[in-house]
Chains A and B, each alone.
Chain A
Amino acid sequence: MIDVVFLLLAYFIVTTVITQREDRLSPNLSIEDQAGGTAQQDFEPQVLEVKLVDGSVEYSIGDRRFADRGPLVEALSKLPQGPGLFVRVHDGPTVSAAAAAIQCGRDAGFKEVTYVPVVE
């Protein structure tokens, strides 16, 4: 019995170690008609668009377009952070692109990042 118990113990120790560690990104949620701003808002929120253009992921803030993370984080970090960042994700890219956009917002120092799903 002790042998069996030891085997079970070893099994659970090994499988527990193998279990992949996970972390979290915690965006707020907003739907399309709430993201555009209302008359009561004093600040224009920063909007980061994530879409697929010609088969590759494109991040854009206004008319500025980015393909890589470094320049995107740099550009985001220069924006005023009080109003927060809205990440509008269009259909087309993969989830990794959406997660990268949220992470870039966090890396740039935005405390409030809001995910706006664009259901097309």
Chain B
Amino acid sequence: MRFNARRPRERQLPLDMTPMIDIVFQLLIFFLVTAQLSQYSRADLDLPEEAGEKTDAATEAGLIINVLADGTYEIASGAVGIDEIRSLASDLARESEARGETARPLVRADRNAPTSALNLILSTLQKAGIPAVRIATAPGN
């Protein structure tokens, strides 16, 4: 009586890559979106090293103004003049008032920028109807 000497073929479970690829794609999309959002309007500045207030950081700024070390202004990586900022600030103040909210634009000023540039931008915002701002700091110390 002959027995079949051959062993049954070992069953190999195929490694299912689909869930891993799904997760990797989800992560990729997440990092793509967050990287884009965080870099948008963020000029490379040395912000003042202050602890800040740790409050209402999640509030939408509506307008982000960068004050460079040489005293010039940028919005969304493009140089702007004081007239353009005045116009944008007036629009923001009007829209915020219509929504019943308080506009608080974010001013990201280089720590080495002259206060004359900051003073000019803040007085312009105030005259445009903006009651308060947020000044970005780097909590380094």
B-binding residues in A (CB < 8 A): 2, 5-6, 8-9, 12-13, 15-16, 19-31, 50, 89-100, 102-103, 106, 115, 117-120
Contacts and interface: CB of A to CB of B under 8 A. Distances in A.
Contacts of B116: 91-92, 119-120
Contacts, number: 153
Given A95-B111, A96-B112, 20 more contacts: A8-B28, A20-B47, A21-B139, A23-B136, A23-B137, A24-B52, A24-B53, A24-B135, A25-B50, A25-B53, A26-B53, A26-B134, A29-B126, A29-B131, A91-B114, A92-B114, A94-B112, A95-B115, A99-B111, A118-B119
Report the interface size class on chain B. Answer: 35 or more
A70 to B, nearest CB: 14
A23 B51 contact: yes
9 contacts: A2-B24, A26-B53, A31-B127, A93-B115, A95-B115, A95-B118, A96-B112, A103-B51, A106-B53
A98 B50 CA distance: 11
Contacts of B110: 95
Contacts of A115: 122, 133
B35 interface: yes
Contact of B50 (A12, A100, A118, A120): A100
Contact of A31 (B38, B123, B133): B123
Given A22-B138, A25-B53, A31-B127, A5 B112 contact: no
Contacts of B38: 16, 19
B34 to A, nearest CB: 6
Interface string B8-32: 0000000001000100110110011
B57 interface: yes
